[in-house]
């Protein structure tokens, strides 16, 4: 059994097994939720190799349509997802309970940057040994190509600074209140810290009932999270993204949003944003990106991937490049509620056309970071840095597969762009150190030793 988080990645695994093994293609089955339950049950019984999403396997285990008793080997691809209550955790536990001779392999390019996270993955998958390979290892070197890196900096526009000062004043005020009331110990906190605190206090409120100090703390935390997000949009995305976000907050009927817009600094910041939006102000990274892509697109048969965090930014980039006559498509996830999105069928069609060379630039959100088969990309451009070492590794992994590749980082000086880049850099370096340490603690040297 081979599992991966997405249907396209499982389809890719099926093709790989058909190409590189002597197993009959009829015995290699791709299981999806679109196959009727009774039909899936029959397929499980007659196939030798099964590839499927963990959600599908978990569902069939719970309904009694599948037993893992006779499975000799299970692979958990993108194993870094095996934390908390992700479906992998349930399946691994069932496999250990049911199988006669269980054998588990977890695969990931990026397990995480702390001992705690890696230990959680190991526990959840019942992993006993850790193997690490990098592009420098002799058994990997022949199969990967060198990747160059380039850092391109833009100045933070002076016109943006007034908005930043107003929002930062409000942000600091919320943090000072939380510190004075002993909810945090330092005014230097990250969005991740605030979200974790929000979750803890939310649990406390359920237990304590109507506690006014907790209620006010929740309002202050919500304010801080929203202002932090607004600052991130200003520094890394630009005026139009910030305008859309603040417009939604202003129209919101939530108490926290109403409290936020009572603050004169927030109102003044929004007024300035609206004025700049009407004048057509954009982030300088957009113009820089346009010039970079125009230069790269002159190369014959070039393939370029542009990574951006937000769907609106992706749309803006596509429209800008198309105006320059550069064939560009976007790849985003499926629709959220009434928002924009692409069906899985449409996603696969766009990927097929990109591989075929129908267009030269693919711009996308997080969906293009993980688990899609784009074997030959020349350039990967980070429109913004990401603080997660997992996402940074996944993005870079799109280049250097079959040809020399280059990764270009667009960074705004003195902003979260730089901070996020270095955060991911240090986390990745720490992660490699942890993995080498864990590897040395096990006596087996290779995967083959474990299979023996």
Walk me through the domains of the chain, giving residue ranges and CATH numbers: 2-132 (3.40.50.300), 141-155+284-424 (3.40.50.300), 158-278 (1.20.1320.20)
Return the pLDDT at 79: 95
Return the pLDDT at 136: 83
Contacts of 95 (CB under 8 A, 6+ apart): 68, 71, 74, 102, 104
Kindly provide the b/e burial profile for residues 399-423, where b requires at least 16 CB atoms within 10 angstroms of the residue's own CB.
bbbeeebbbbbbbbeebbbbebbeb
Longest dimension (CA), the chain: 70
**C-alpha span between 305 and 328 (Å, rounded):** 10
Contacts of 388 (CB under 8 A, 6+ apart): 424, 427
pLDDT in tens, 165-214: 999 999 999 999 999 999 999 888 888 899 999 999 998 888 877 788 89
Return the pLDDT at 209: 75
DSSP state of 401: S
Return the pLDDT at 109: 86
Task: With CA atoms as reference, report the closest residue to 88 among 149, 5, 20.
Answer: 5
DSSP state of 187: S
Return the pLDDT at 444: 56
Return the pLDDT at 452: 60
Q: Taking the CB of residue 270, how many other CB atoms lie within 10 A of it?
A: 21
**C-alpha span between 270 and 389 (Å, rounded):** 33
Return the pLDDT at 226: 97
**C-alpha span between 107 and 214 (Å, rounded):** 42
DSSP state of 230: H
Regions of the chain with pLDDT less than 70: 335-339, 370-375, 442-452
Distance of CA 323 to the CA centre of its chain: 29
- What does 29-58 look like in DSSP terms, one character per residue? EEE-TTS-HHHHHHHHHH-SEEEE-HHHHH
User: What is the reported pTM?
Assistant: 0.83
429 phi/psi in degrees, rounded to 5: -65, -40
Q: Taking the CB of residue 22, how many other CB atoms lie within 10 A of it?
A: 4
Return the pLDDT at 146: 83
């Amino acid at each position: 059994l081979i599992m991966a988080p997405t249907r396209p990645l499982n389809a890719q695994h099926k093709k790989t097994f058909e190409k590189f093994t002597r197993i009959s293609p009829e015995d290699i089955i791709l299981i999806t939720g679109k196959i009727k339950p009774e039909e899936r049950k029959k397929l499980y019984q007659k196939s030798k190799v099964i590839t499927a999403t963990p959600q599908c396997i978990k569902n069939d285990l719970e309904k009694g349509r599948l037993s893992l008793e006779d499975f000799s080997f299970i692979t958990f691809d993108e194993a870094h997802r095996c934390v908390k209550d992700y479906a992998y955790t349930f399946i691994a536990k069932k496999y250990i309970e049911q199988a006669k001779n269980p054998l588990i392999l977890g695969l990931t390019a990026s397990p995480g940057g702390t001992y705690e996270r890696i230990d959680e993955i190991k526990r959840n998958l019942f992993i006993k040994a850790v193997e690490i390979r990098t592009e420098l290892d002799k058994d990997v070197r022949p199969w990967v190509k060198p990747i160059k890196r380039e850092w391109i900096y833009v100045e933070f526009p002076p016109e943006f600074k007034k908005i930043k000062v107003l929002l930062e004043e409000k942000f600091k005020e919320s943090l000072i209140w939380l510190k004075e009331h002993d909810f945090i110990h330092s005014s230097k906190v990250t969005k991740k810290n605030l979200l974790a605190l929000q979750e803890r206090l939310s649990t406390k409120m359920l237990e304590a009932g109507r506690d006014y100090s907790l209620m006010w703390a929740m309002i202050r935390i919500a304010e801080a999270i929203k202002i932090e997000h607004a600052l991130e949009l200003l520094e890394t995305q630009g005026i139009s993204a910030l305008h859309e976000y603040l417009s939604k907050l202003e129209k919101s009927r939530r108490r926290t949003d109403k409290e936020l817009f009572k603050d004169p600094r927030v109102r003044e910041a929004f007024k300035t944003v609206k004025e700049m939006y009407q004048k057509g102000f954009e982030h300088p990274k957009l113009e820089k990106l346009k010039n970079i892509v125009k230069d790269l697109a002159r190369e014959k048969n070039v393939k370029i991937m542009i990574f951006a965090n937000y769907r609106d930014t992706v749309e803006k980039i596509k429209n800008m490049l198309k105006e320059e006559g550069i064939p560009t498509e976007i790849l985003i996830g499926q629709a959220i509620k009434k928002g924009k999105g692409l069906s899985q069928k449409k996603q696969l069609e766009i990927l097929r056309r990109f591989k075929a060379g129908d267009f030269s630039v693919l711009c996308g959100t997080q969906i293009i970071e993980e688990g899609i088969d784009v074997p030959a990309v020349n350039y990967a451009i980070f429109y913004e840095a990401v603080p997660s070492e997992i996402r940074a590794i996944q993005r870079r992994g799109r280049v250097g597969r079959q040809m020399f590749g280059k990764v270009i980082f667009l960074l705004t000086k003195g902003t979260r762009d730089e901070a996020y880049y270095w955060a991911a850099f240090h986390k990745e370096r720490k992660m490699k150190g942890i993995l080498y340490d864990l590897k040395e603690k096990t006596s087996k040297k290779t995967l083959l030793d474990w299979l023996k």
